[in-house]
Chains A and B, each alone.
Chain A
Amino acid sequence: MTLALAVDIGLALLILAIAAWTIAVRDTFASVIGFVTYGLLLTLVWVRLALPDVALTEAAMGGGLTGILLIGAAAQLRRTEATVRTERLGILTRTLAAVLSVAVTLALSICVLNLPDPAPTLAPAAAANLDTTGVGNPVTAVLLAYRAMDTLLEAIVVLLALFGVWSLAHDRVWGGCPKLRTQADSEGILAYFARLLPPIGIIVGIYIFWIGADFPGGKFQGATILATMWLLVIGAGLAYLPPISRAWLRILLVAGPLVFMVIGFVGLVTAGAVFAYPDGYAKPLILAIEFALMPTLVLALALLVAGAPQRMPPQ
């Protein structure tokens, strides 16, 4: 057994243990903390699987933003813990659920052990056309050139989810400010970190965004880091979220997908197909889309965590 395999086995066992604890622990808040730890450990799995782009996304999103979201929700729902605990299911249902889960796991394990060999891959096809896109990172080429339509729909899904969250607001606060739970102690350690970390985080976020064309990174990872920095400053009570009726906010939110769609459909005229880029213009057009999508994603991801509007802005 090689050292690498030993590390992999240890990592897999650790992840399984934390996942089991996350599911089984009685306290919901403890379960949320378990889930955040689990998300961070999954990042190591992505590194071990040699998928750095996914590792960056998982670290920023699975560990970071989802953590803020779930911790906030668990803190608000704390008072309901005692009531919900009385609703425990009967032993028969729990046994059936366990049997079903084991059956699904076994079926999937059989599939994993019988995957075709050699594995089918599109890597050679992606590599063969990489030069025409002008970008050096094949994952970015897939996201913004080969399968640009998927990425457009993804950006629209994020926006639709945000509209869904906003539409849950009470009528009297429609157009108001979302309210993130804040820790308003201006001398506290959170306020200290909220002053110290953003300058570093903003540089890291923009760097990861910029380098995404040629190396692991990209707009989703960069946008998530920037959104987290914004939420950190707001969570420490040093800034406030804007009311959702602000025109600049709404313009920036739709600008990204709109620029993406316009560039996509202009391809119909200039290159003969939707989302085709004319020769030699692929790289500048891809960069234009990334720049337009970046503010949309930062705002949409942060506002998704902040939730529905809760109060009207002070007049």
Chain B
Amino acid sequence: MNGPTLFGLCAAALIGFGLYGLIVNPQPLRKIIGFNVIGSGVFVLFGTIARRGAAVGMGGDPVPQALLITGIVVAFSATALAVALLLRLYDGRGLVTLDNEAAPTETTTDPSDA
């Protein structure tokens, strides 16, 4: 067992944790966090592959490293969009639920705007 393999196994467990949280937590913000835990697990898994590709004096294969940086930035953008959608849902209905049956208890929507 060496460092990269250890973190690879750690990444596999993180993806499992995130997947469980994504399915089980009813609160949408918790689902976004679960999705991000899956994402970071995938990044760490990819990072171990980059580390295994160390050669010619480089600490790791630079191509996966560049893709990881791209991936982290894109994951942040997607998270920001998801959070904005969630806050808009709260703004419109006064509650955040993915349950279609739930009736809104209160509303903060401006009537002239609806």
Contacts and interface: CB of A to CB of B under 8 A. Distances in A.
A189 interface: no
Interface string B39-57: 0100111011111111111
Contacts of B17: 16, 19-20, 23, 101
A172 B111 CA distance: 12
Interface residues on A, range: 35 or more
A51 B65 contact: yes
A147 B63 contact: yes
Contacts of B110: 170, 172
A162 B77 CA distance: 8
A164 B83 CA distance: 11
Interface in A133-162: 138-139, 141-143, 146-147, 150-151, 154, 157-158, 160-162
Interface string B63-74: 101111110111
B62 A109 contact: no
Contacts of A220: 69, 73
Nearest to B46: A54
A168 B84 CA distance: 8
B72 A57 contact: yes
A104 to B, nearest CB: 6
A28 B90 contact: no
A280 B3 CA distance: 40
B26 A88 contact: yes
A127 interface: yes
Interface residues of B, number: 84
Contacts of B34: 23
Contacts of B73: 57, 61, 154, 158, 220
Contacts of B112: 172
Given A8-B6, A45-B7, A161-B78, A154 B84 contact: no
A165 interface: yes
Nearest to B47: A49
Contacts of A31: 30, 33
Interface of A: 4-5, 8-9, 12, 15-16, 19-20, 22-23, 28, 31-32, 35, 38-39, 42, 45-46, 48-54, 57-58, 61-62, 65-66, 69-70, 73-74, 76-77, 80-81, 83-85, 87-89, 93-94, 97-98, 100-102, 104-106, 108-109, 111-113, 115, 119-124, 126-127, 138-139, 141-143, 146-147, 150-151, 154, 157-158, 160-162, 164-165, 168, 170-172, 218, 220, 301, 304-305, 307-308
14 contacts: A12-B6, A28-B29, A42-B40, A70-B83, A102-B16, A104-B19, A108-B12, A109-B12, A120-B53, A121-B54, A123-B53, A143-B69, A162-B77, A307-B83
5 cross-chain pairs, A with B, having the tightest CB-CB distances, nearest first:
A50-B59, A121-B53, A105-B16, A112-B8, A108-B12
